[in-house]
Each structure stands twice: as C-alpha cells, then as structure tokens.
Amino acid sequence: MQQRTPEITIVGGGIVGLSVALGLLLAGSRVRVLDGADSDARASQGNFGLVWGQGKGWNFAPYANWTMDALDAWPSFAQKLQELSGINVALVQSGGYEFFTDPTEMECFKAELDQQAGYLGRRASYEMLNGDDLRSQLPDVGAKVVGASFSPRDGHVNPLRFLRALRCAVQAMGGRVTMGATVAAITPQPGGGFALARADGEVTHTEQVVLCAGLGATTLARNLGFITQVKPQLGELLITEKLGSRLPFLSSTIRQVDEGGVQIGGTKADAGFDDHESLAAIAGLARHAVTVFPALADVRVIRAWGALRVMSPDGYPVYAKSAAHPGAFLVTCHSGVTLAPLHASVLAHWILNTSPTPDLEAFDECRFALSHAA
C-alpha cells in the first residue's frame, strides 16, 4: 500500500504564507492554509507592491544575494502565476529610482549601494545621477531634488491582484485555503505531529506546521520553541485619483499602479499595533511627492491608510526549524512581495529537505541568541 504524503499546514494566508504553500504544492506536498480574520493586522493588504533590491542587504551579504536571486526569478514566477490563476499581476521591472533632496543622505545611500555591490559582484547594477543628469532624463522632476540612484532591476506589481493570484494558484494546485480560521494554540503531540486549536473551538491535526502569520505568530512561535520576537512598524500610504497619463518613473515612495492611481508612501514609525494614519504623516507624504514631482500638486488624494510591517529584531528574514519540535517551521519577513519567487521554490525545498540550501543558514534565528537581539 502506497504511503500517503504527509500534510503540511500553513498558519497565515497572506503573501508569505501563500507563496510558501504554492512552493510546497508544486513540490508535490499536500497543503492546507489556515488564514485569520479580516480584522487582523495584514501587511499583505497594505503593502506597496515593490519588487525591489536597491540597498537591501547592504550590510548583510546573504540578504543582498537572496534579494538579487528573487529579482532574477520574478519574470518566470509571474508567468507561472498567470498560468495557474489566470491573473496578470502586472509585473513591470524596467528600473526604479531613489530620489534625494539632501546631499548628505544621498552620499550615505551611495556608500550603502557600494557596499551592497561588493557582495553582489557582477550582478550589481546601479548608477548615481546628480540633479542635472536626472532632469535631463526626467525633465519634470522638482528643482529641490539634488539627485537619485537608479537600478534597472527594480520594479513593482499590483499588490492586491498578486495576493488574489497566489490564493487562486494555491487552490488550482489542490491546496485547501480556509478563511476566518484563527489559530489560538498549537500543541506538539507525543507521537509526532501537531494539534491546532482554532479560536472557534475546532481542533485539527497536521504532520507539519509552518508559521507564516506575521505579527500573529509570536505566541504560537514561542510555544514551539522559537525565540524570534517580531514587532510592528507602521507605514502610511496615500493613493490618488486615476490619471490618464502615465507617471514617467517608478520610485520606492511614488509609484503608479496599472489601474492609473498614484500610490505614495514611505513612512516608518514605532506605533505598536495602532495602524491608524495621522494627518501630520499624511501631509508629509504629500509634500514629499510634490517636491519630487510638482505636477502631482493638482491631483486629488482619494484614500489614505496605515499598515503594519512585520519586522524581525535585525530587519532581515527568519527561516527557522524547531529543534524542540521537529516538523515545526517559522517563516517571517517584511519583503514578502520581493522574495515571493524564492519562498515558492527554494524555501519550499528547504522545508521538505529535498535540496541543499546552505545560504539559508544565515537566516536562522540562532543569530538572535548569539547577539541577544531577540
């Protein structure tokens, strides 16, 4: 009698959880995804949709290379998603800018890019543009912008469409996705596997469990022997009315979604679990956008919101296997969009232990125990 493939339960149905689920399904696993309530803090529904590498891992070589691997993998990943889901996530990877109004900040960022390039070698690709050179390319950029960096590898997707495409692709591959299934406790079983107690009182069992619940994973992770303590970081966003003309650039703080609206972001605040936007921060975002691109001054803002990023103690991803409870995994990061192609491939094989992935050792949570950062 043929032995049945063990089931893996993903706790968390956001971009990270669904990407991991898709990778496990493509590798032949049976997968169930338990997603929480709509009222949960959901980074996946409030992110900026960037596929971005500039400056990432400038002081941590494994992350610089991991990010570059993800950028390289995005075109084929987007195509695979469309084949499975029928949804075009609107990937555009034609390059992106970081704009500066402060010469000192620009020099500091250049130093970071230089250090990042030292890790990446020939894969590094960026240039620094002074104000005059920048405006020769983009004549309508504001006079207060002193320069910019540009990388031809950076891009973006439609974030909400991407989330929907992931969910549809997981279901198309036979994965079970249960919405409104908040997991309250996970209990390792004496004979192996885990019991998952849901907030509604239902208890289910699974052979393996992968925690991808972002800010909701802390208590569950601790019960499984993990030490990582994630924390929220508030980011606030604006979106404008739809424009008939196309924005002539993409930046990490100003982007135009494929439907026509301009999304403006960039705040970082320690506000606990309060995701409400503030008038002062929103006004600051608007001023920045108009400084960079004065033509936006007459464009109406139609929506503003705040969302909570998921931050590890050092800001880098955590991929951990529980030593105390084999079969339990913790996956958390704040760059779920950029890293999605690797979460749906390399990371899935790491979970299944079907291929060597030595570089992932750098992302283990043991680094916090050694540095007391957790």
Tens of pLDDT, residues 62-120: 999 999 999 999 999 999 999 999 999 999 999 999 999 999 999 999 999 999 999 99
- The answer to whether residues 235 and 300 belong to one domain is yes
Length of the chain: 374
Tens of pLDDT, residues 196-215: 999 999 999 999 999 999 98
Q: Residue 354 has what pLDDT? A: 85
Last residue of a domain, one of 296, 311, 326: 311
Tens of pLDDT, residues 237-291: 999 999 999 999 999 999 999 999 999 987 888 888 878 888 889 999 999 999 9
- The answer to whether residues 190 and 329 belong to one domain is yes
Domain for residue 20, yes or no?
yes
- The answer to whether residues 261 and 306 belong to one domain is yes
Q: What type of residue sits at position 210?
A: V
- The answer to whether residues 329 and 204 belong to one domain is yes
Partners of 254 in the β-ladder: 264
- The answer to whether residues 303 and 247 belong to one domain is yes
Alpha helices in 247-335, H assignment, sequence order: 279-292
Distance CA 364, CA 361 (A): 5
- The answer to whether residues 107 and 247 belong to one domain is no
- The answer to whether residues 201 and 253 belong to one domain is no
Q: Residue 143: which domain range?
A: 96-152
- The answer to whether residues 110 and 175 belong to one domain is no
- The answer to whether residues 209 and 356 belong to one domain is yes
* Share above pLDDT 90 across residues of the chain, in percent, rounded to a whole number: 79
Query: Tokens in use for 328?
Result: 């339990």
What is the pairing mode between strands 194-198 and 254-256? unpaired
- The answer to whether residues 143 and 268 belong to one domain is no
- The answer to whether residues 300 and 200 belong to one domain is no
Going from the C-alpha of 164 to that of each of 44, 45, 83, 167, 304, the distances in angstroms are 11, 10, 14, 5, 22
pTM: 0.94
